[in-house]
Amino acid sequence: MQKKIFWIVFSVLGLIADFELSIWWCLAATVPIAYVSWWVAYRSDWF
């Protein structure tokens, strides 16, 4: 379940970044997006 939440959050945030940011900012935002997705899925105890 946590993997599924991670990939859903990562995909949604990645798509938002794709449409809102330029390509270089989108690439730079990948690491923070991965960190936020990991935190939501594994550390936040929401799921």
Render pLDDT for 1-47 as a digit per residue (tens, 0 to 9).
888 989 999 999 999 998 888 889 888 999 999 999 999 998 887 76
On whether the CB atoms of residues 29 and 21 are closer than 8 A, the answer is yes
Structural element, H or E, at residue 19: helix 2-20
CA distance 22 to 39: 25
**pTM, rounded to two decimals:** 0.80
The predicted pLDDT at position 36 comes to 93
- Domain layout of the chain by residue ranges: 2-43
CA distance 20 to 38: 22
Phi, psi of 43 (to 5 degrees): -110, -20
The predicted pLDDT at position 47 comes to 64
